[in-house]
Amino acid sequence: MGVCNRTPDSFSDGGRFLDDAAAVAHVRGLVIEGAHILDIGAESTRPGSSPIDAAEQIRRIGGLIRASVELGAVVSIDTTLPDVAAWALGEGARIVNTVSLEPAAELGALCAHFGASLVLMHCRGSMTDMRGFSMYDDAAYGDVVADIAREWTEAAERALAKGLPREDLVLDPGLGFAKNARHSIELCARLDELAKLGFPVLVGPSRKSFVARAAWTPDASAIAPPGERLGGTIAAVLACVARGAAIVRVHDVKEVVQALAVAAAIDARREGDA
């Protein structure tokens, strides 16, 4: 899943794709590089970001969904608002990706009506209330994997009760969302436990602060900025795929596709030698 943010303030690529021509060129490049899904959003989810209303989200996205569909891509709309999701599905999107469990029932009903899939991401509270990147009380979870499995399943049941087929529901543990770096690393390490819930698992480690914090040492002058987190992103992607992730949401599609291809070739050779 490749990312295209039509926002002025996203933590990694805010402002880069506000121009229509730049956005279309970007999504075309993502498809060429190997993205199977394009995740398009118009509201930043960085800590402290302000909500964007439906009309403004729709205005920002403009004709990008239709242009992406014409490229042959499967399009995901990244929004928590049912009005934006309904508009995007009408434009040709086939997936709704929400960073909140709150609208699970309404979005579940909407996706069932359109025959679309729903990605439910675990988070607690709004982006506005988040204190900062990878900043969350360490004791907020008793067992982060078990707590997330329970809270996510409760939301999933609300979506399924509205007629969404089970096979159209995707689990995202929400790396970095209402979680500190230790929580996110723990989720990557134990992702196989979430995969056992029986839903496809999507992870989004791309350029997030937890990958930089995991590599930080007291001798380092500063945490690596988002553009310098590719190595950590790839490490997290490979670890998560090995533990059952079905979809990875990334900014650097070409590099991640290459890493996954090499890992698959190595695994295939090992199985051939067994």
The beta-carbon contacts of 161-164 under 8 Å, at least 24 apart in sequence, are 161/105, 161/108, 162/105, 162/106, 162/108, 162/109, 162/112, 163/108, 163/109, 163/112, 164/108, 164/109, 164/111, 164/112, 164/118
How far, in Å, CA of 182 to CA of 38, rounded? 29
CB contact at 8 A, 242 and 217: no
Angle between helices 230-242 and 253-273 (to 10 degrees): 40
Catalytic hit among 208, 213, 229, 243: 208
- How distant is the alpha carbon of residue 66 from its chain centre? 21
Other C-beta atoms closer than 10 Å to the C-beta of 59 total: 12
Q: Which of 60, 179, 213, 249 is catalytic?
A: 249
To 10 degrees, what angle do helices 144-161 and 181-189 make? Answer: 80
Residues 6+ apart with CB under 8 A from 137: 180
Q: With H, G, I as helix, E, B as strand and everything else as coil, classify residue 114.
A: helix
Q: Helix, strand or coil for residue 73? A: coil
| Alpha-carbon Rg for the chain in angstroms | 18
Whether 208 sits among the annotated catalytic residues: the reply is yes
Q: What is the DSSP letter of 153?
A: H
* CA pair distance 157, 197, nearest whole angstrom: 12
User: Could you confirm whether 213 is annotated as catalytic?
Assistant: no
User: What is the rounded distance in angstroms from the CA atom of residue 39 to the CA atom of residue 6?
Assistant: 11
Q: Just list the catalytic residues.
A: 208, 249
